[in-house]
Amino acid sequence: MIHFNYLIVFLLFSCNSEIFLIKVTNDLNMNRSYETVEIDLNLFPEKIINNIDKYGIFDLKNNSLLSSQIIDNNLDGKYDVIIFQPQIDSNSSGNFLIKKINKSNIKKNKNICYSNLMPKRMDDFAWENDRIAFRTYGPEAQRLVENNKKGGIISSGIDCWLKKVEYPIIEKWYAQHFEKISSYHEDTGEGLDNYHVGGSRGAGGFSILIDKEYYNSRNFIKSRIISNGPLRTIFELEYQDWNTSKGYIEEKKIISLDKGSNLCKIAVQIRGTKTITSGIFLNEFDGKITENLENSWVSYWQPHDDSELGNALLSKNKYVIGSHKFVGEDFDKNHLYLDLKVIDNYVEYYTGFAWLKSKQFDDKESWNNYLDNFSLKLNNPLKIEI
């Protein structure tokens, strides 16, 4: 059967040079799904790159058209990658074709993975997928504090929005809140925002630790959406240079969240430090800490109102130095930290959460198992051949 598949591919290539085979191999002893495969479009001829919106990715096994997304990562007007999410059984491979699509076959997919600036609520920036949602705070929220006005916040911390549904809720919750239909701080059936950030790192903001002192950036000053789509949302946040006892820090984050994932990727471009430490706020001190540095993650599982919430930080093995906990008199400074190495002015980590009311996980153990598997897959990526 394998020879038969390759024979078909050879004949297709000989008849039509605009069809390419993508082979995806899974070397792990676990099935893999909701894992995004990213294909560099520079590997294809110019005529395909220039018309990539007319192409799709087909599963060769059943000739089905898969959901895909094309992304211009640097916003220069030219697409850089095409992404899709294959299902690959353990210790096996899957074959996929990239070829032109008949317009009648094209279906518009909803932007389940979505991010946007929210000027109605000052200038929050919020993002979500089919499982989780977040927000962080912009310059207007900072200006209110600096001008001694109510309603502002100075924080580069990250807020969790706890959702029970797979469809987008960000725009809806903000609209209903400001039209006084309902408050996103109350659960009307879809979830709510009842997570405390304040001056803390919240769910995954980072600090720089120097001589037992933690230094943080303030609110972002600029935001830029790179792509919203069915499989990934990706955006950029810029920060004003900020000071530490050892000099100024230059910081920019590129944040992405993929469909089906409970963990959001934060890629940090940073100058002025060789390490950072990303944090989870230790709310109420009534939870349980799990540290699994062999698999490069830490987690804090806690009672949360009438439910339970697990927050986690995770990275690739090469970035992880260790972990630590800080507890002091200032409530908002109490955190579990994952300590990370900056390599060539760059470091990346993942932050995310599990809320029991979403019914995505049964308990702390199933969440920890998810983190173990995520780490294993992250450090052993799917192999791609074209």
Mean pLDDT of 290-304: 97
Question: What is the distance between the alpha carbons of residues 231 and 109, in angstroms, rounded to a whole number?
Answer: 9
Question: What is the distance between the alpha carbons of residues 256 and 155, in angstroms, rounded to a whole number?
Answer: 20
Classify the C-alpha dihedral 265-267-272-275 as positive or negative. positive
Do the bridges between strand 383-385 and strand 114-118 make them parallel or antiparallel, or are there none, so unpaired? unpaired
User: What confidence score (pLDDT) does residue 19 get?
Assistant: 86
pTM above 0.85, yes or no: yes
Position 267 pLDDT exceeds 90: yes
User: What confidence score (pLDDT) does residue 107 get?
Assistant: 63
Classify the C-alpha dihedral 101-103-107-112 as positive or negative. positive
**Structural domains of the chain in order of their starting residue, each with its CATH number:** 2-107 (2.60.40.1180), 114-378 (2.70.98)
pLDDT tens track for 158-173: 999 999 999 999 999 9
Question: What is the distance between the alpha carbons of residues 80 and 21, in angstroms, rounded to a whole number?
Answer: 18
* Percent over 70 (pLDDT), the chain: 94
Quick check: 85 and 101 in contact, CB under 8 A?
no
pLDDT tens track for 369-385: 999 999 999 999 999 99
Interacting residues of 215 by C-beta distance below 8 A, sequence separation 6+ = 207, 208, 209, 242, 243, 244, 245, 249
Mean pLDDT of 131-157: 95
Quick check: 161 and 135 in contact, CB under 8 A?
yes
Interacting residues of 352 by C-beta distance below 8 A, sequence separation 6+ = 132, 203, 204, 261, 262, 263, 264, 311, 312, 314
User: What confidence score (pLDDT) does residue 4 get?
Assistant: 32
Question: What is the distance between the alpha carbons of residues 282 and 300, in angstroms, rounded to a whole number?
Answer: 8
Q: Which of the four pLDDT bands, split at 50, 70 and 90, describes residue 122?
A: confident
